[in-house]
Structure 1
Amino acid sequence: MEIIYNITDWLWGNVIGYALLGVGLYFTIKLGFPQIKHFIRAFSTMKKSLKGDEGGLSGFGTLMAALGGQLGTGSLVGVSSALFIGGPGAIFWMWMTALFGMIVSFSETVLGQAFRVKDKDGNYEGGPAYYIEKGLRNKPLAILISLLYVFGIGIAIASIQTNSIANAFTGVVNINPIIPGIFVVIMAFLVIIGGMKRLVNVSTFIVPFMVFVYFSVVLYIVIINITYIPTIFSAIFESAFTGKSAVGGVVGWTVAEAFRSGVARGMFSNDAGNGSAAMMHASADVKHPVDQGFLAMIGTFITTIIICTATAMAILMTGSLESGQDGILLLQTAFGSVLGNLGSWIVFFAMFLFGFTTLLADMRYGESNLTYIFKDKKKYPILSYRVVLAVILVIASVVELNVIWAAVDLIIGMIVFINVISLLLLFKYVRYIYQHYFREVEKGNDNPRWNYDLDITKIDLSNVDEPQYNESTDVETKNKKVV
């Protein structure tokens, strides 16, 4: 057990954090700061994404499904833990993770769209496994990352979500946690068996509602404590670079602790770098990969800059960090200090909704990667996965998951490492697709269309600054292949 903790600490403290921020900075510079330059355009893309191209899943719907996965309990408990471990400075590094994570999410999604395939039912499947196999021509590595997704996200993180929801129930109601555990599992499977379309519909209904309500409550807390804003922001920046803070806590913090906890929990909250959201965005039927890439950027912004910051403000402005509590207890203390017993109920409902939508996404990611591994023979593996997962999730609602948390940190670290290296090697394709989009915009075409039958790996990208895009290029048809 101690070995796992040591490896995880080394991986996140010395490799993943620097790699994620470094790659994000590199992509940002090479593409000309698109997360800033095209920020308004990215939001405007949401308007034209309400309906899917040719009747398929809409870009907005898949954004809501992806957001459902990103806005998990990590946006609540994860932020609390980051503050407890790393102090106010952790929030600064969360912001940096979001800023550069936006372009990483953009790149993952563009590749997920470009290398996606259709299954025999006409649904699109894509994500890291697909662009690793087709772009890098490395099927063993693609299978490895798929297995890591199945066990790390599709089972382990799904178990954590169920456990968090059950604990949230028992925090406000005197009830055996297995009862809410069973309830949540039944509700989740009723959604998942309806396929991607039902998942999108449920997420489109729940996600905007829960974001609006949660943000509104935190905004109220901020308004009644508005005089503390200068002190809070001063504490965030001071703690990020010195470890000292004007906002007290029961322990001292170091810059390294702020960096590690901020980057790790920031990445967990917005999924940038682990490639999971790219699987969801690959299902969208849109005209151009860049359009969906912009929506993925917005998803990262909403998750970390808006929701995670809101959680941090609620904790810091109420002085709850000085209580010495961690996790959900810290969050309940913050909300309760302003709203009384109502605060605990609000935290409960937030934990339930955020955890439930993330559970749905995690299950979808598990099934998506089983689809990649078994192709058209996926029926029985997915059925077996559902049966085994149902049992595991119910058990997870009543047991301590400390070992699972440690394993998840390690597995996600491995996934991020593989995915980030793959993104670096495939970045030339991201840049090519990005340039195609804006060349069309410069010609007056505000709704560029990408040829999804194009096998981009057969195009000469030796001079990527002046690529020659020809939709009639004699290349293999890729998306018509049935998996």
Structure 2
Amino acid sequence: MASYMSFFKDLLWGSVLIYLLLGAGLYFSWRLNFLQIRHFRHLFTVMKHSRRHSAQGLSPFQSLCTGLAARVGTGNMAGVAIALTLGGPGAIFWMWLIAILGMATAFAESSLAQLYKTRDQQGIFRGGPAYYMEHGLGMRWMGILFSVLLIISFGLVFNAVQANAISTALYFAFGWSEQWVAVLLVVTAGVVIFGGLKAVARTTEVIVPFMAIGYVGIAFYITATHITEVPSIIMLIVSSAFGLNEAASGAMGYTIAQGVINGLQRGLFSNEAGMGSAPNAAASADPYPPHPASQGYVQMLGVFVDTLVICSATVAVILLSGEFVPGGEVSGIELTQRALTAEVGSWGGTFIAIAILFFAFTSVVANYAYAETNFLFLGKRGGVALMLFRVGVLFMVWFGSIASLPTVWTMADASMGLMAIVNLLALFLLSGTVVKLANDYWSQWSRGKVPHFDPSAYPELYAQIDESVWGPAKGGQGKTDGSNRK
């Protein structure tokens, strides 16, 4: 079974997804005039009022933290180490590239998720790719397919991945048995999961910023103490990405291919741009400015923080420590722990264990929130069905805590690949709507107005969206001060 799963995963990542992901990033960057670069400063402007929220939705800050909770986890610590081991330093270049291009893809999927969101029975905003597939494309069957894949991927498999990283880290740092870690995770995750979407948001907005700042701060300290080595590390990454170091040996083609494949795999697993996961958090927000595109900017920031900040912090720690051995047996979270321990002493491994505990734990509960939204899309309204689903999620947390790393990662790569294909197809079909949203938002902002989305200006969209969510804009559109017009 494992061999078949590995073959299927290699087929997806060896050809289909590489072209789709790069193609989507390039396509949306071009259609949106590289707004991830032109409007980069605006990402932080949008966050100035990000703590506003209502009873119907999360605040933009909570939405960002929920998205980061799912993004920031094993992909940033274990995944980067695996990319280095299997693909060499050149894999990091491709990880950076897919993040920059993926910011445009993240804008597209999150803006669409906001536009086509609805309310659940409690009046809380729900949405995501399944919803824009049904309402934007009129293809509920496609939405059902995506929901099933997401529930398998995020509700089940990815939670096993996160639990696996936690148990490995705690065993390395403290010698805790996998069985006891499994019990601890099931109990603590269960408390949050049974509290629903709001409980997940409250948990992530406290833990994620605190741990991210601490982790990046330590990496910055290590970089500063090795500042003279940084240029050579950057040159190593760039030269390895194009096989310049291996040209003489005749292995250049193979080296480049391994770097590209592993960089893209781990990059997508970490930042999730184009996968269709973060839009589920984006749709749950009550945005400010009150326009679908504002959540596109928020989730673009999430991709930047995840890969270009936190993943790069892990790269700096590993490559500057001297612990990295190309093709070495030590990989995953253990390599990251060894690297930090070599730099700051024995407490480094302990810190990584605590960091991965919190990062991966918040990923577990955020992944569940995504899965719950899609569970509701399938027509499951709660009760016994929802209770059984939650039990199934907790079972996978237990399974991941005691399973072997290669098996879990292979399952994650395969399920993630299928999900991404379905979502990317929908994004290409709805690309015209993405461009309309981006142009409408920036047209208002450039005139000094706080953007408001008025669906009556787009009758072709008005028939597709939930009137209780996006009614005609009421009142005047406020002015911004000059300092915000960036």
TM-score between the two structures when normalised by the length of structure 1: 0.91
Q: Which one-letter code corresponds to 2:46 in the other structure?
A: T
Q: State the shift of 1:443 in Å.
A: 3.0
Q: State the shift of 1:155 in Å.
A: 0.5
Q: Whole-Å Cα distance in 2 between the matches of residues 331 and 126 of structure 1? A: 36
* 1:277 alignment partner in structure 2: 278
Q: Which one-letter code corresponds to 1:141 in the other structure?
A: M
* 1:362 alignment partner in structure 2: 367
Q: Whole-Å Cα distance in 2 between the matches of residues 238 and 42 of structure 1? A: 31
Of 403, 427, 431, 1:427 maps to 431
Q: CA, structure 1 residues 337+476, in 2 after alignment: closer, same or farther (shift >3 Å)?
A: closer
Q: Whole-Å Cα distance in 2 between the matches of residues 304 and 399 of structure 1? A: 27
Higher mean C-alpha deviation, range 81-90 or range 335-344? 335-344
Q: Whole-Å Cα distance in 1 between the matches of residues 203 and 245 of structure 2? A: 44
Q: Which one-letter code corresponds to 1:198 in the other structure?
A: A
* 1:348 alignment partner in structure 2: 353
1:206-264 deviation line (CA, Å, top 9, x unaligned): 11100110011111111111111111011011000116279xxxx99700000011111
1:397 aligns with 2:401: yes
Q: CA, structure 1 residues 243+69, in 2 after alignment: closer, same or farther (shift >3 Å)?
A: farther
Give SS of 2:379's match. Answer: helix
* 2:468 alignment partner in structure 1: 480
Q: CA, structure 1 residues 52+189, in 2 after alignment: closer, same or farther (shift >3 Å)?
A: same
1:7-63 deviation line (CA, Å, top 9, x unaligned): 211211212122111111111111111101111011111011211268742111110
1:408 aligns with 2:412: yes
* 1:462 alignment partner in structure 2: none
Q: Whole-Å Cα distance in 2 between the matches of residues 255 and 395 of structure 1? A: 35
Q: Which one-letter code corresponds to 2:181 in the other structure?
A: P
Give SS of 1:67's match. Answer: helix
Higher mean C-alpha deviation, range 48-57 or range 281-290? 48-57
Q: Whole-Å Cα distance in 1 between the matches of residues 387 and 457 of structure 2? A: 33
* 2:473 alignment partner in structure 1: none
Q: Which one-letter code corresponds to 1:480 in the other structure?
A: S
Q: CA, structure 1 residues 382+273, in 2 after alignment: closer, same or farther (shift >3 Å)?
A: same
Give SS of 1:120's match. Answer: coil
The answer (yes or no) to whether the contact 2:78–2:165 under 8 Å persists in 1 is: no
Alignment of 1:173-322 (within 5 A): 173-242=174-243, 244=245, 254-286=255-287, 287-322=290-325
Q: Which one-letter code corresponds to 2:332 in the other structure?
A: G
Q: Whole-Å Cα distance in 2 between the matches of residues 329 and 243 of structure 1? A: 29
1:338 aligns with 2:343: yes
Q: Whole-Å Cα distance in 1 between the matches of residues 226 and 395 of structure 2? A: 45
The answer (yes or no) to whether the contact 2:116–2:465 under 8 Å persists in 1 is: no
The answer (yes or no) to whether the contact 1:454–1:477 under 8 Å persists in 2 is: no
Q: State the shift of 1:393 in Å.
A: 2.1
Instruction: Give identity over the alignment, percent.
Output: 35
Alignment of 1:163-174 (within 5 A): 163-174=164-175
Q: State the shift of 1:401 in Å.
A: 4.8
Q: Whole-Å Cα distance in 2 between the matches of residues 121 and 167 of structure 1? A: 39
Q: Which one-letter code corresponds to 1:339 in the other structure?
A: V
Structure 2: 5+ residue stretches without partners: 470-486
Give SS of 1:254's match. Answer: helix
Give the aligned CA root-mean-square deviation in angstroms. Answer: 2.1
Q: Which one-letter code corresponds to 1:358 in the other structure?
A: S
Q: Which one-letter code corresponds to 1:478 in the other structure?
A: D
Q: Whole-Å Cα distance in 2 between the matches of residues 240 and 26 of structure 1? A: 23
* 1:60 alignment partner in structure 2: 61
Structure 1: 5+ residue stretches without partners: 460-472
Q: Whole-Å Cα distance in 1 between the matches of residues 321 and 246 of structure 2? A: 16
Number of residue equivalences: 460
* 1:102 alignment partner in structure 2: 103
TM-score between the two structures when normalised by the length of structure 2: 0.90
* 1:374 alignment partner in structure 2: 379
Q: Whole-Å Cα distance in 1 between the matches of residues 366 and 261 of structure 2? A: 26
The answer (yes or no) to whether the contact 1:165–1:181 under 8 Å persists in 2 is: no
Give SS of 2:58's match. Answer: coil
Q: State the shift of 1:456 in Å.
A: 6.0
Q: Which one-letter code corresponds to 1:61 in the other structure?
A: Q
